[in-house]
């Protein structure tokens, strides 16, 4: 009997998989432990998911790591998350290089503590020449912030006479987003059973396939990603067209 991975058609892989990593706190609470314990135990899920995506040949993997709304959490939790983030990235950088994985980040990065941005940038620079999977961390990210910021940038160019109204189209707008060098996701996964998008890549997921699983993020493993990709491959993506039109192509 074939494994989940063996059943995947590598010629029909999603080029970009995005994941809302949800359930760390609830996972820890069920075990009678502190929320930080849940975040710490989520690292294995990140490692396995990244390895699985790289093994298959996925081009981009974006992980919703820290939202702008997360700044409103208790200060102790935020500080612990920031420390865990940079230590984990630094620890995993040699493995990223070994597996030819490039690290990137999107979001309101300047809002992160200076020590965090400096250490993050070092890791990004160390992996910038890798040509395999691009692992994108969405940090201090908010889709509404991103869309508003793009609107302000375009408005400023209009006022300065650098743009005309008729120049504004989807392509130009996309070029002002933090994801400007990243293709739109083909597949968006959310863990822990919650069925919502939570201000994540709202512009970019217009035609993305959505997949929800009840697995809490700390328990997420390679097989869970393979299962999601198989579900994706069994769907018909029409992009507003009819099924008959897609077949004719």
User: The sheet that has 187-190: what strands, in order across it?
Assistant: 102-106, 134-141, 60-67, 16-20, 187-190, 209-212
**How many other C-beta atoms lie within 10 A of the C-beta of residue 173?**
16
Positions marked catalytic: 22, 70
Say what the pTM is. 0.92
**How many other C-beta atoms lie within 10 A of the C-beta of residue 39?**
22
Domain coordinates in residue numbering, the chain: 17-233
Which CATH class, in words, describes the domain spanning 17-233? alpha beta
pLDDT at 216: 96
* Cα–Cα distance measured from residue 145 to residue 43, given in angstroms and rounded to the nearest whole number: 27
pLDDT at 246: 54
Each residue's pLDDT tens digit, 136-185: 999 999 999 999 999 999 999 999 999 999 999 999 999 999 999 999 99
DSSP 89-147: HHHHHHHHHHTTPEEEEES-GGGS-HHHHHHHHHHHHHHTT--S-EEEEEEEE-HHHHH
Each residue's pLDDT tens digit, 177-235: 999 999 999 999 999 999 999 999 999 999 999 999 999 999 999 999 999 999 999 99
* For residue 22, pLDDT beyond 90: yes
């Amino acid at each position: 009997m074939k494994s989940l991975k063996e059943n995947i058609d590598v010629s029909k892989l999603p080029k970009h998989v995005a994941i809302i990593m949800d359930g760390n706190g609830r996972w820890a609470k069920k075990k009678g432990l502190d929320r930080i314990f849940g975040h710490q135990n989520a690292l294995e899920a990140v490692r396995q998911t990244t390895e699985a995506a790289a093994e298959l040949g996925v081009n981009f993997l974006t992980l919703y790591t820290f939202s702008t709304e997360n700044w409103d959490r208790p200060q102790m939790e935020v500080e612990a998350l920031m420390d865990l983030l940079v230590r984990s990235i630094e620890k995993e950088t040699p493995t990223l290089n070994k597996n030819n994985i490039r690290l990137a980040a999107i979001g309101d990065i300047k809002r992160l503590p200076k020590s965090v941005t400096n250490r993050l940038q070092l890791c990004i620079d160390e992996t910038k020449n890798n040509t395999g999977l691009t692992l994108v961390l969405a940090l201090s990210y908010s889709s509404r912030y991103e869309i508003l910021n793009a609107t302000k940038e375009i408005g400023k160019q209009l006022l300065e006479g650098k743009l005309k109204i008729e120049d504004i189209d989807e392509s130009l707008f996309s070029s002002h987003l933090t994801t400007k060098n990243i293709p739109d996701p083909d597949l968006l996964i959310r863990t822990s059973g919650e069925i919502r998008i939570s201000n994540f890549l709202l512009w970019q997921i217009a035609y993305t396939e959505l997949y929800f699983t009840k697995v809490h993020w700390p328990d997420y493993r390679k097989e869970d990603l393979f299962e999601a990709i198989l579900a994706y491959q069994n769907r018909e993506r029409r992009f507003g067209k009819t099924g008959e039109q897609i077949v004719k192509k």
